[in-house]
Structure 1
Amino acid sequence: MLGLVEFGWTFVFQIVNFLILYFVLKKYLFKPITGYMSNRTEKIENAFKDAENKTKEANELYEEYKLKLENIKEERNNIIKEATRRAEERSDEIIKVAEEDAKKLVERATQDIEREKQKAVNELKDQLSSLAIITASKVIEKEIDQQTHQQLIQKFIDEVGEVTWQN
């Protein structure tokens, strides 16, 4: 015995047994475990890649929706501006129509007043002429010719009409 290990047939059988055991374990144990570990590593890497892709997609969708939201806000502002503009135009149109109606109403009222004024003047002249005729006939009981009579009436109407309407 030279040391702990003796070289002989036992040592050779032990090495052969070890090699057989190693190859059997390698074929039936190490390969499946290594394959399983490779598959597991590959699945984990794929999961990380999928997570990265989904994160990229989510960021892209976020940016897309953010842009759409800005466009919607801009569109909303445009719609509000357009509605305000149309309301102002309608308001201006209504005011214009109301002013025109008021002008027409004032013109009609002025015309009615003028007509009534003229009617009153005519009635007053008729009454004055009747009154002048009655007064003249009572004051003058003598007979006058028709032409002088008409001149007196006209003179009376002119004088009374001028004085009355100047006041």
Structure 2
Amino acid sequence: MQVQELVGIVPWTFVAQICNLFIQMYLIKRFLFKPINEMLEKRRAMADAQITDAQKVKEEADAMKQEYEQNMLDAKDKANQIVTSAQKTAAIQSEEILKEAADQAAAIKAKAEKDIAQEKRKAVNEVKNEIGGIAMEIAGKVIQREISEEDHAKLIDEFISNVGEAS
């Protein structure tokens, strides 16, 4: 009979073991699972918050990167515009300087030609005056004396030499 007792089910023992199991489950659930679940839930919430914060930071960093890239493109465009503007301004200024220099050269050339023409007229007038003076001298000498052919040749040679010196 002893073997039967080991294999057999005693109703009071069975009920006591079931009650014991429910009490243990209740105690484990209340004092062990609830705090562990609360702690796990807190950790999950903290991890979700960190993930959310990381996503926000990443989005902000992406936005800053986009803004930085846009600013760099704008700066490059502005630099290109400044360079282009400077090149245009330099080209315009160089054209103005060349035109001014050409105008000054033309004015200097015109003045020089005018001065040359004036000096030429002055020289011609002086030569005319000298020739007139020499002709008057010759006429005066001819009137004062009778000219022989030798004297006549001498006067012509003298006139030619005087004209040569005047020019």
CA distance in 2, matches of 1:108, 1:82: 38
Whether 1:78 aligns to 2:101 is no
Which residue is equivalent to 2:144? 141
Deviations 1:42-73 (A, max 9, x none): 22222223323332332233223222222221
Deviations 1:91-128 (A, max 9, x none): 11111111111111111111111111111111111111
Task: Read off the aligned partner of 1:24 and give its amino acid letter.
Answer: L
Q: Cα distance 1:99–1:138, how it changes in 2: closer, same or farther (>3 A)?
A: same
Which residue is equivalent to 1:151? none
Which residue is equivalent to 2:98? 95
Which residue is equivalent to 2:23? 20
Matched residue pairs, number?
Answer: 145
Structure 1 gaps, min length 5: 143-159
CA distance in 2, matches of 1:122, 1:7: 165
Whether 1:57 aligns to 2:60 is yes
Whether 1:125 aligns to 2:128 is yes
| Structure 1, 103-112 or 49-58: larger mean CA deviation | 49-58
Task: After TM superposition, list the pairs within 5 Å mapping 1:149-160 onto structure 2.
Answer: none
Across the aligned residues of Structure 1 and Structure 2, the Cα RMSD in angstroms comes to 2.6
Structure 2 gaps, min length 5: 146-159
Task: Read off the aligned partner of 1:90 and give its amino acid letter.
Answer: Q
Residue 28 of structure 1 deviates from its aligned partner by 2.1
Instruction: Kindly report structure 1 stretches of 4+ aligned residues shifted beyond 3 Å.
Output: 1-6, 8-18
| Structure 1, 98-107 or 15-24: larger mean CA deviation | 15-24
| Structure 1, 15-24 or 74-83: larger mean CA deviation | 15-24
CA distance in 2, matches of 1:61, 1:137: 111
Which residue is equivalent to 2:148? none
Task: Read off the aligned partner of 1:105 and give its amino acid letter.
Answer: I
Aligned-pair identity (%)? 33
Which residue is equivalent to 2:119? 116
Whether 1:41 aligns to 2:44 is yes
The normalised TM-score by structure 1 is 0.73
Residue 37 of structure 1 deviates from its aligned partner by 0.5
Whether 1:32 aligns to 2:39 is no
Residue 36 of structure 1 deviates from its aligned partner by 0.5
Which residue is equivalent to 1:68? 71
Residue 6 of structure 1 deviates from its aligned partner by 4.4
